Structure 1
Amino acid sequence: FRIGDLLDMHLSDSQFDAVICVFGIFFIPDMPAAVRALWHAVRPGGKLAVTAWGPRFFEPAATAFWNGVREVKPDLYKGFNPWDRISDPASLRALLREGGIERAQVIAEAGTHLIPSANAWWSAVLGSGFRGTVDQLDDTALKHIYEANVSYIQGSGTSSVEANVIYAIAQK
């Protein structure tokens, strides 16, 4: 593995049989440039695969998380989720075209993530893009948000959250 900047990878052209970007493309401010950089690394006949979260990521519990954040740290309340820009097949397909990929198979798949307990929900929070927000909280705010989320999961009977995915595969 090599840590670096996706937009400045210093790789030779057409080097890889497969290039995969899993739930990451939406974190790059210039997504079309990122697509071009990834596509540049794919050899002729090779494939690029990109995944993004679909609509309603982690709902209904995501709303409880963000409401808790807004109550104690309004400055950290989400303006938007970065993946919302490409959370449907049409928008991901448009991004690929803007990045120089004319033909790609783009598939939406509905999914769920089981939440058997409030602690399982909090583990999902810590293992997701929500972690960046959690890491910015002081102990008092963190305790409030954790307790609000535990209360929500237990009180609502939520046993799963949506984990919808958009997959794109392009062959060069």
Structure 2
Amino acid sequence: MDLSAIGAVFDRTGADFARLAPHLWDPIGRATVDIVAVKPGDRVLDVCCGAGGSALPAAAATGADGRVDAIDLAGSLLAVGREHAAVEGLTHLRFIRADATAWEADPYDVAMCVLGVFMLPDMDASVGRLTRLVRPGGTFAVTTWAAGALENFGVALSDTIHHERGTEPGSPASRDSVTKIATERKLGDWLTGLGLTGVTVSRVPLTLTVTDDLAWLLVTGSGFRGMLDGLEPAAVSRVRDNLLVTLRERGISTLDATTLVGVGRR
């Protein structure tokens, strides 16, 4: 799947992405900004920014003397981010529809990508290019899913959808990229291999209690939504009902949403 197709999937999450944000995207974004230690006056690039889970706290941290460029391809999510920025008076935060693999700008003090690098084409080359948008001595950060995060839920959803479609489960194209950086050691070694120095990796635990509403919101308000493409409304309704049954049958009452935040210097 190319970037424009991925952007279209997240565009369709729209309001559901925003409803999921307080449970998932916002706490992960805030934790990233805290670990990165964004400072007043910093120029920040937030790649794959979504609706602003990390861009909004980054802009609060930089203050009006700083600047945050938040880029994504999902226009509906950028619109939500702009609304929040206006309410909070963050005039130095710009939400911009742009391709991360082609973005050019003067060097930043900080660049970060929260839960997005594994969706970029040729992850190594794309992220290597992004690191060069940071000034010498500046900070580059990546947040990714820890090994096992959302795994039981993802398997239950995949099994349910493939049962509905009458197809065999397969592995998503981004899975290899996720696995490549899914432990502290792997993420640290990968960032060091991209030329960053002083790399540290922090584990950020997050556990969500499964309710019927939250379980389905995780499907419709995240990249999982793409798995529903091509299904008629009646089929989607059956997937929802069967997913909830499957989660109960498998005893999945909580979701592990642990992330890893890797930070290095250019």
Quickly name the TM-score band, shorter chain normalised. 0.7 to 0.9
RMSD (Å) for aligned C-alpha atoms? 2.3
TM-score of the superposition, structure 1-length normalised? 0.83
Does structure 1 retain, via aligned residues, the 8 Å contact 2:162–2:169?
yes
The answer to whether the 8 Å contact 1:33/1:99 transfers is: no
> How far apart are 1:32 and its partner, in Å?
1.3
Partner in structure 1 of residue 216 of structure 2:
122
Distance of 2:145 and 2:166 partners within structure 1: 24
Q: Report the secondary structure of 2:97's partner residue.
A: coil
Q: How does 1:138-157 map to 2 (within 5 A)?
A: 138-155=232-249
Give the equivalent residue in structure 2 for 1:170: 264
* CA contact 2:197–2:265 (8 Å) conserved in 1: no
Aligned to 2:165: 73
Indicate conservation of the 8 Å contact 2:146/2:182, yes or no: yes
Greater mean alpha carbon deviation, residues 72-81 or residues 2-11: 72-81
Question: Alignment length, in residue pairs?
Answer: 169
Query: Counterparts of 1:33 and 1:157 in 2: how far apart (Å)?
Result: 40
Tell me if the contact between 2:196 and 2:265 (Cα under 8 Å) persists in the aligned partners: no
Query: Which residue matches 2:124?
Result: 32
- Measured in 2, the distance between the counterparts of 1:108 and 1:78 equals 29
Q: Structure 1: where are the runs of 5+ without partners?
A: none
Q: Percent identity?
A: 26
Q: 1:124 to 1:26 in 2, by over 3 A?
A: same
Deviations 1:1-42 (A, max 9, x none): 222222211223xx2111110000000121111222221111
Q: Is the 8 A contact 1:19 1:47 kept in 2?
A: yes
- Structure 2 gaps, min length 5: 1-94
Asked if structure 1 preserves the Cα contact closer than 8 Å seen for 2:145 and 2:178, the reply is: yes
